[in-house]
Amino acid sequence: MFKSFKQYLTELKCAGTIDAELSLLLEAVASLSKDINDKVRHGELVGVLGTAGTDNIQGEQQKKLDVISNEIFVNGVQWTGSIAGMASEEMDHCLPTPQQFQRGQYLIMFDPLDGSSNIDINAPIGTIFSITRAPATVDEVTDESFLNKGREQVAAGYIMYSPQTILTLTVGEGVDMFTLNNNTGEYLQTRSKVTIAPQTQEFAINMSNQRHWEAPVQRYVGELLAGKTGPIGKDFNMRWVAAMVAEVHRVLCRGGIFMYPKDNRDPSKPGKLRLMYEANPMAFLIEQAGGVATNGHENILDIQPEKLHQRVAVFLGAKEEVERVTAYHKN
Ligand code: F6P
């Protein structure tokens, strides 16, 4: 007998782990993810494939599904009375909770549709979210209100749209997973207290960027490729799904290391992934599962954000390997 997400949240509330506002917010996220899931599953039949004809603040072409998912997310959480505002990878600035809705004590940040390049080829994509407390002292939240270290997150997770739709969540007490029953529309708990083995023989990196990497990453990946006869002394396998949600899900399920290092091509971009919408929530999940997440120099959760759409290098997963590549950066 699987436990429903509703029961799971109720138990956390009764135990005093989360309050009613956070519980309602998490329920709202689970609920809106079913609407996004519905669009994803029907694709061309409901006209959601292809580009939207607009760019986001980072100059990336938005897909129709990016824009639709963003709208579903905003509408799905703004009424809850749980949030003082939200920030999205797809919106230039934060959105304080509109006047007609009650303001709550939390902030939510999200990437409504991660892995956009997978949309049109029916490969895994996802939604990522991160929740912190709102500053109690300001009347209306601004972009600055969101610039908190990842350690201050009270909850984070993702929903992965793939053969199965899976919601993965941490509220700071381990990592749990819920599978959507498409017949009943209910998320049911299928994994609890997921842990990542400290050792691994699997890595994920976009090898096509190799010539742009810095020396520590060149060295580390060179050693992985050298296999048994190299300094690490074991053979590694490689995977690349091109959606962070799917890479992190694989690492949580069977271990491994995922890397998106700094790229020398554009010095204004210290990495590709976004700190607030991607790296922080994923780092919270990874640490809660016993793994490590760094930018090569410090733990991602300890980085003081300077701007909402900040990018960051990411090395996450199996403790032994993330520590190895981080040590190479220190050398
Ligand atoms: O949001 C950025 C993202 O789509 C991640 O989900 C994914 O890990 C990465 O970009 C894929 O990058 P690339 O296009 O280099 O394969």
The domain ranges of the chain are 5-191, 202-330
Q: How far is the CA of 260 from the centre of ligand 1 (A)?
A: 8
Residue length of the chain: 331
Q: What is the pLDDT of residue 72?
A: 98
Identify the bridge partners of residue 108 per DSSP, sorted by sequence position.
Answer: 86, 131
For ligand 1, say whether the CB of 114 is within 6 Å of any of its atoms.
Answer: yes
Tell me the whole-structure pTM to 2 decimals.
0.97
Q: What is the pLDDT of residue 55?
A: 82
Q: How far apart, in whole angstroms, are the C-alpha atoms of residue 258 and residue 291?
A: 11
Q: How far is the CA of 60 from the centre of ligand 1 (A)?
A: 12
Q: What is the pLDDT of residue 151?
A: 98
For ligand 1, say whether the CB of 61 is within 6 Å of any of its atoms.
Answer: no
Q: How far is the CA of 282 from the centre of ligand 1 (A)?
A: 14
Q: How far is CA 201 from the centre of its chain?
A: 23
Q: How many CA atoms lie within 13 A of 297 on its CB side?
A: 8
For ligand 1, say whether the CB of 243 is within 6 Å of any of its atoms.
Answer: yes
Strand pairing report for 257-260 and 202-204 = parallel
User: Which residue's C-alpha comes closest to atom 8 of ligand 1?
Assistant: 244
CATH code for 202-330? 3.40.190.80
Q: How far is the CA of 245 from the centre of ligand 1 (A)?
A: 10
Q: What is the pLDDT of residue 118?
A: 96
Please state the atom number of ligand 1 nearest to the C-alpha of residue 117: 4
pLDDT, averaged per 10 consecutive residues of the chain (331 residues), comes to 97 98 98 98 93 82 93 98 97 96 97 95 98 89 97 98 98 98 97 98 97 96 98 98 98 98 86 97 99 98 97 98 97 79
Q: What is the pLDDT of residue 270?
A: 86
Q: How far is the CA of 16 from the centre of ligand 1 (A)?
A: 37
For ligand 1, say whether the CB of 210 is within 6 Å of any of its atoms.
Answer: no
Query: Helices 319-330 and 215-226: crossing angle, nearest 10°?
Result: 140
Q: What is the pLDDT of residue 267?
A: 77
CATH code for 5-191? 3.30.540.10
Q: What is the pLDDT of residue 147?
A: 98
Q: What is the pLDDT of residue 96?
A: 97
Look at phi and psi of residue 197 and say left if phi exceeds 0, alpha if psi is from -120 to 50, else beta: beta
Q: What is the pLDDT of residue 331?
A: 79
**Pocket of ligand 1, candidates 61, 113, 260: which has the most ligand atoms within 8 Å of its Cβ, to mutate?**
260
Q: How far is the CA of 268 from the centre of ligand 1 (A)?
A: 18
Provide CB contacts within 8 A for 72, sequence distance 6+.
32, 35, 36, 39, 112
